[in-house]
Structure 1
Amino acid sequence: MRRRTLVGVLLAAAAVPSVAACQSENGTGAAAGTGAGPSASPSATPPSFTVTPAAAAVDVRPDAPVTVAVADGKLTDVTVTAPDGTPVPGALDAAGTTWSSQAPLTVATAYTVHAVAAGSSGASATHDSTLTTLTPGATAFPAVAPLSGREVGVGMPVIVTFDSPVAKDRRRVVEQNLHVTVTPAPVAGSWSWQSDSKVEYRPEQYWPAHSQVHVDIDLGAVEVAPGVWGKTRDIDFTIGSAMVSTVDIAAHTLTVTRDGQVVKTIPVTLGQSGSGGKFVTRSGTKVIMSLEASRQMNSETTGIGQNDPNYYNVNVKYALRVTNSGEFLHAAPWSASSQGRANVSHGCTGMSTEDAKWMYDNSKVGDVVVYTGSDRGIEPGNGFTVWNETYQQWQQGSALSA
């Protein structure tokens, strides 16, 4: 019995060192890993990024926004850069955790994305990636009148004609990316769709004389029809003096004003009556479309053949076109005896060669010629006819008016 007791004591004494080996350094006796005492400091969690479009994305739509978001931190620097170093504008949200682009991208362009974030625990992280925008399979080129650098009259509309139709449901976004700026003072104006490939702009009133106009066609990132993208263009032109003429068809006179002052009154002859009224000069507000020092006028282009008594084929001097259908102001020396007295033309405004040359020398594309005194009105689209509607009527053709 004593032997068994001694063995038990010895065994208990031998067990003491192993128990001490499991004690903490402060002697509390808590075993490591039990969580009963102070734990080690956790490792810092670095910020993590979510970038849209994803890294190495290709065929990215240029109208798709670029976003950089961070978790476990805040963004301190974000740049999205084109190959030439041009940055894409963007902004951080109030929390400083999401950056979003604020301008469209350019098609067929590779961009680099660089972002830096500071973590809440002191850690930081950097992200670098690339994305490439799509290359359009088809584009719609916008031809613009007037051309850049031209001086035009106060009645000249801005005409944008696309070589590919614009989808009806895309007209609104197209208009939102067509910008007209007038200096030195802004004026109200509106676009109006004339067809699925043509949109025209006019101010509420005639352009201010001696002003500058800038047209920004920012359609490079606009899909104008399924799979068809626009183009970007900038046009600058000048408005010259305010040349506004009035033709009184019944009185056979043309009165010319420049910047509000009458500068010349010219006796004229207009379209004759009879023949079913097809030669009567149209009333309405017309705009000079072109100036030609000479022009061959052949009635066959208007459907009057050589066997018709009204047939003509003559070269005229100083021709100023005002309609698509063939109305001009021009020299007509053969009708000198009727000028100021009777209407004997086939619809044109005839005058002496001297007066026609004066008009040619002093006029420009975009000058206004208002015709009054006949019951035949100008048809919409028969020339630059934008001033034959009220401004409210004109605005109804805008996709933004809905």
Structure 2
Amino acid sequence: MELRRRLRLLSVTIAATPLVLVGCTADRLPGAKQAAPPQLTVTPGDQARDVPVSAEVGTAVKDGKITGVRLTDDKGAQVPAEPREDGSSWVPTRPLQNSRTYTAEVTATGEKGRTTTQKTTFTTMAKSTRTAVTSVLNFTGDQTYGTAMPVVVTFDPAIPKEARADVQRRLFVKTDPPQPGTWSWLADGKQVEYRAPDFWKPGTKISVRSALEGLPIGKDAIGDADRSGSSKIGRQVSLDIDNASKQMSVYEDGKLLRKVPVSLGKSSTPTSSGNMVIMEKFEYTTFNTMGDPNGGYIVDVEDAQRLTNGGEFIHAAPWSEGDQGYTNVSHGCTNVSNANADWLMRITQVGDLVTVKGTEVTLDQGNGWTAWNVGWDEFAKGSALPVPAGLKPTVSATPHPGVVAGGSAPAPARSNSGG
């Protein structure tokens, strides 16, 4: 009996042995393919010198994905950085410092957890003596803006066409909830504007960074500063001014609140027709048009709201109340009564849309914040970088009233000319 039991055990062992051998040698069979480690390229290159302080950590990887990026300065302190949406690089959250050495350590992970880590050490350039391009960001922090508020950056001197893509890549906009858009350049290169296909949704939080400090711009210039601002979008208010009826229709969230009689620019100094945005609001200001061939004057006005760089405002004009609703007598501004001007100041926000129609002249692009003065397709043509094809308006391509949305250098040629 003991002999039979031993024979059974031997039989089980012999039967099991081939299975164990096959399991242990499967990965060693001739021709079995091993997982390759990721191939990783990091920029700036190791030991690179005279690197701009606007440098990003470029990460190109094959057969894997980036799983770790650490940037430290020459004292061992970590420099915070964020990845671009396309993963092409990591952008330091503040400019690097001149004449400092930095080390970037990047790790990529591929199939079966195989990793590749690469280090690169580089030194930034000394403080530049090149001409600084002054930039001005209109988006200041902790404000509440209207739903037509574009993000605007102005430049002095203008950005040459060949440098606009590099500049645009350093302009960042984040929205919560997400509402992607694009930048669009004016032809002269002095201004670039950002908006989405549709108006901002009320309650949207918007963060903007113009990260141009130390950025090489063209052959002879460099960016002046790194500027940022975070604000939110308030209720939707829009003003529709019709020259034919001499009436302003005021809408909130698509509902008509009030009709306001107006007097616009007379034929020698007409008001511009187009889609504008309220740029500034003044309880009191002074218009000075001395030297104007159409007649100069100096006058104090109340409750003035700027619409253009050239000096078109909505403002209180008690001297023309008898003409409001009937005759145009202004120097290009929209005249309203004291009571209506006061009411408008309490209703409107910087960033609200103002549409004027039926006058003798049209609004010039760049005369104010004119991002909504063209349709989306035309606006997107002004981008120096590719625009995602999926970005399309969900409403009319040309905004209309009542629609509900799904530095140190001055801006170009602004004046308080008024009228």
TM-score range, shorter chain: 0.5 to 0.7
Residues 280 and 232 of structure 1, relative CA distance in 2, 3 Å threshold: closer
Matches of 2:80 and 2:282 in 1, distance apart?
47
Name structure 2 gaps, 5 residues minimum.
1-42, 60-67, 83-87, 107-117, 388-419
What secondary structure is seen at the aligned counterpart in 2 of 1:340?
A: coil
In the other structure, the counterpart of 2:232 is: 238
Partner of 2:193: 200
Q: Distance in 2 between matches of 1:200 and 1:78?
A: 32
Cα distance in structure 1, aligned partners of 2:186 and 2:316: 36
Moved more, 78-87 or 373-382: 78-87
Between 1:151-160 and 1:311-320, the stretch displaced more is 311-320
Aligned: 1:185 with 2:184: no
The answer on whether the counterparts of 2:52 and 2:216 sit within 8 Å (CA) in structure 1 is no
362-371 or 196-205: which moved more?
196-205
Is 1:317 the counterpart of 2:302 in the alignment?
yes
| CA shift in 2, pair 1:318/1:395, >3 Å | same
Amino acid in the other structure paired with 1:293: E
| Greater Rg by CA | 1
Cα distance change of structure 1 residues 107 and 225 upon mapping to structure 2, 3 Å threshold? farther
1:103 aligns with 2:90: yes
1:334 is matched with which residue? Answer: 319
Counterparts of 2:44 and 2:244, CA distance in 1: 70
Report the residue type matching 2:370 in the other structure: T
Runs of 4 or more consecutive aligned structure 1 residues displaced over 4 Å after TM superposition: 51-55, 64-67, 77-80, 87-90, 112-115, 127-131
Structure-1 separation of matches of 2:186 and 2:148: 18
Q: Give SS of 2:355's match.
A: strand
Structure 2 vs 1, CA of residues 343 and 129 (structure 1 numbering), >3 Å: closer, same or farther?
Answer: closer
| Residues paired across the two proteins, number | 317
Q: Quick check: 1:134 aligned with 2:119?
A: no
Could you tell me whether the CA contact under 8 Å between 2:45 and 2:121 is conserved in 1?
A: no
CA contact (8 A) 1:192 1:201 kept: no
Q: String of CA shifts for 1:269-321, please: whole Å, max 9, x gaps.
A: 2222xxxx32222211121121111222344253334xxxxx54332221112
**Residues 1:86 and 2:81 aligned together:** no
Aligned partners of 1:374, 1:296: CA distance in 2, in Å?
25
Which range moves more in the overlay, 244-253 or 370-379? 370-379
- Gap change, CA 1:136 and 1:193, over 3 Å in 2: farther
Out of 254, 263, 270, the residue aligned to residue 269 of structure 1 is: 263
What secondary structure, in the 3-state scheme, does the structure 1 residue paired with 2:208 have? Answer: strand
Is residue 2:159 matched to residue 1:166? yes
The CA deviation at 1:213 is 0.8
CA contact (8 A) 2:160 2:218 kept: yes
Residue 167 of structure 1 deviates from its aligned partner by 4.0
Q: Secondary structure at the match of 1:344?
A: coil
Pick from 360, 374, 398 the counterpart of residue 375 of structure 1. 360
Task: Give the Å deviation of 1:232.
Answer: 3.2
- Shift in alpha-carbon separation, 1:147–1:58, aligned structure 2, 3 A: same
Does structure 2 retain, via aligned residues, the 8 Å contact 1:220–1:229?
Answer: yes
Letter of the aligned partner of 1:372 in structure 2?
K
Q: Report the 3-state secondary structure (helix = DSSP H, G, I; strand = E; otherwise coil) of the residue aligned with 2:299.
A: strand
CA distance in 1, matches of 2:140, 2:69: 40
Aligned residue number for residue 42 of structure 1: none
Task: Provide the C-alpha distance between the structure 2 equivalents of 1:344 and 1:319, rounded to a whole number of angstroms.
Answer: 17
| Counterpart-to-counterpart distance in 1, 2:119 and 2:330 | 75
In the alignment, which residue of structure 1 is the partner of 2:27?
none
Query: Which residue of structure 2 aligns with residue 390 of structure 1?
Result: 375
Matches within 5 A, 1:335-374: 335-374=320-359
| Separation of aligned partners in 2, 1:255 and 1:78 | 54
CA RMSD of aligned residues (A): 3.6
Flag the 1:84–1:242 CA change in 2: closer, same or farther, 3 A.
farther
1:103 aligned counterpart, secondary structure = strand
Matching residue of 1:17: none
Which segment is superposed worse, 80-89 or 172-181? 80-89
- Listed one character per residue, the Cα deviations across residues 76-129 of structure 1 (whole Å, up to 9, x for unaligned) are x99652235216889xxxxxxxxxx943672422225789xxxxxxxxxxx999
Q: TM-score, normalised by structure 2?
A: 0.65
Q: How many angstroms does 1:358 deviate by?
A: 0.9
Between the aligned partners of 1:261 and 1:185, the Cα distance in structure 2 is 26
For the 8 Å contact 2:168–2:183, the answer to whether it is kept is no
Question: 1:292–1:223: structure 2 CA closer, same or farther, 3 Å change rule?
Answer: same
Write the letter of the residue equivalent to 1:133: T
